[in-house]
Structure 1
């Protein structure tokens, strides 16, 4: 299947620090990923691993420092502001915090209509589209004249999803879109996203630190560590047979109701290295139970370990302790 969005060797480096004492922070490191029409690609990892920066680069909200991006076969790596606005017809985002993502001074109908007005649609077209997307996200049309403060977190996130859907995009990046919600509300929003994907064929990039949430929604999963993708696989393959010890430890961190399993969990020891001073070789080697001399010297390439399953580990075929 032809990729809708294709990233090749994408990196993002920020200059940080005070004037005269600046240094490079490599937030995203040489990432190559494809997103296909109608699929959900989850991007997971601990806080600070570069997930959100990667999502912003995908949308061209943040320009990459290196590498190329192609959307529907067209190079979008170095597009100007006008082309970026046009790209917004096809690429949208749902933010993490439903409380700060909506303008408190605008009514729901105006929030959803704003991108449609910017595209020059007529009032009649805007009204019809607003009503349609509110129905899609299961919000009564009577809510259209209310302000965001009148709604719960889950309802506000539905408004954010409606705003993203209004322009009928082909790709939506969901940046930790359920992490601020209660567990029961999370389940409702995940079910809604799954239904929207089935009904519209929109592709989703679902950014999350929670693999338990990801399993319900994602077709494929990309695991990030310290700015790099260390494993990519179909969801079922990754959850049943992870090839990277970091992924295995993340899976063991998923809450387990069976108390007898607690002693069998793999726990990641040590702290995440600073992205300002990453370790040589494999970035994970100081926390890895499999690490050997080669891990301390040579960064492992992301390569196929099975059909459709890639991992960046020198010992990916070794049974995890």
Structure 2
């Protein structure tokens, strides 16, 4: 039972960013990932999240190799991995209300309306989003409030693994602590594996089980 990158080589438009990188995340553990800017941390996260197909190597989920990326991967596989980006604004459709933002992955996989409404309410409560905030669009809330909505969206399918790509970098200290607490609670309840990408050694030491270096 592991999310694993096996000797991943990947890049964009002929430019290689990663070369034979391997990494694993076990259920229930929190793995830190650090490295200098430009070393390919975000690319590795996108490969693990099944959003970017490597040039060579592969990702396996619970021992089964996964081929393809995005919608070429069956929904029952890709929804087992959640992703929380660094910039909530870049990751959000500005036209959607926070309710619709959280509901987006559930609608995409054909969940019934009443199930979606119940799950959105549950996630909003867990992440500290009040009904008045849920009715607003991204431009009408703070970065911290929007990142809480993005976290709720990432948890919508109760993923087995959550990948956090510098997800607390743009947040104030209190919101950082709240986001980390919500993730930790979800982890304890569902034995979720977590990957935390960060430049902050104090955060990695405080939050993670072990830290991997990407150079």
Please indicate, yes or no, whether the TM-score normalized by the shorter chain is above 0.5. Answer: yes
Asked whether the 8 Å contact 2:50–2:78 carries over to 1, the reply is no
TM-score, normalising length: structure 2? 0.91
Match of 1:168 among 158, 165, 178: 158
Partners of 2:149 and 2:159 lie apart in 1 by: 16
Task: Provide the residue aligned with 1:65 in structure 2.
Answer: 55
Task: Provide the residue aligned with 1:33 in structure 2.
Answer: 23
Match of 1:187 among 158, 174, 177: 177
Task: Provide the residue aligned with 1:217 in structure 2.
Answer: 207
Asked whether the 8 Å contact 1:5–1:36 carries over to 2, the reply is yes
Paired positions, count = 215
Kindly report the root-mean-square deviation, in angstroms, between the aligned alpha carbons of the 2 structures.
Answer: 1.9
The question of 1:76 aligning with 2:81 is answered: no
Partners of 1:223 and 1:65 lie apart in 2 by: 21
Asked whether the 8 Å contact 2:162–2:192 carries over to 1, the reply is yes
Match of 2:91 among 101, 104, 123: 101
Specify the SS of the correspondent of 2:95. coil
Which whole-Å deviations, capped at 9, do the CAs of 1:52-97 have from their partners, x for residues lacking one? 0110111121111111221012110346833254433211211111
Asked whether the 8 Å contact 1:68–1:75 carries over to 2, the reply is yes
> Gaps spanning 5+ residues in structure 1: where?
17-24, 226-321
Task: Provide the residue aligned with 2:6 in structure 1.
Answer: 8
- Give 1 or 2: higher helix fraction: 2
Specify the SS of the correspondent of 1:116. helix
Runs of 4 or more consecutive aligned structure 1 residues displaced over 4 Å after TM superposition: none
Which whole-Å deviations, capped at 9, do the CAs of 1:4-31 have from their partners, x for residues lacking one? 2122211114445xxxxxxxx3311211
1:1-321 mapped onto 2 (5 Å cutoff): 3-16=1-14, 25-78=15-68, 81-225=71-215
Asked whether the 8 Å contact 1:4–1:73 carries over to 2, the reply is yes
Specify the SS of the correspondent of 2:180. helix
Q: More relative contact order in 1 or in 2 (CA 8 Å, sep 6+)?
A: 2
Structure 1 residues 8, 91: CA separation in 2 closer, same or farther (over 3 Å shift)?
same
Structure 1 residues 8, 162: CA separation in 2 closer, same or farther (over 3 Å shift)?
same
Partners of 1:80 and 1:89 lie apart in 2 by: 10
Partners of 2:89 and 2:10 lie apart in 1 by: 28
Specify the SS of the correspondent of 1:129. helix
Structure 1 residues 142, 201: CA separation in 2 closer, same or farther (over 3 Å shift)?
farther
Specify the SS of the correspondent of 2:10. strand
Asked whether the 8 Å contact 2:7–2:20 carries over to 1, the reply is yes
TM-score, normalising length: structure 1? 0.63
- Asked which structure has the greater CA Rg, the reply is 1
| Deviating more after overlay: 156-165 vs 184-193 | 184-193
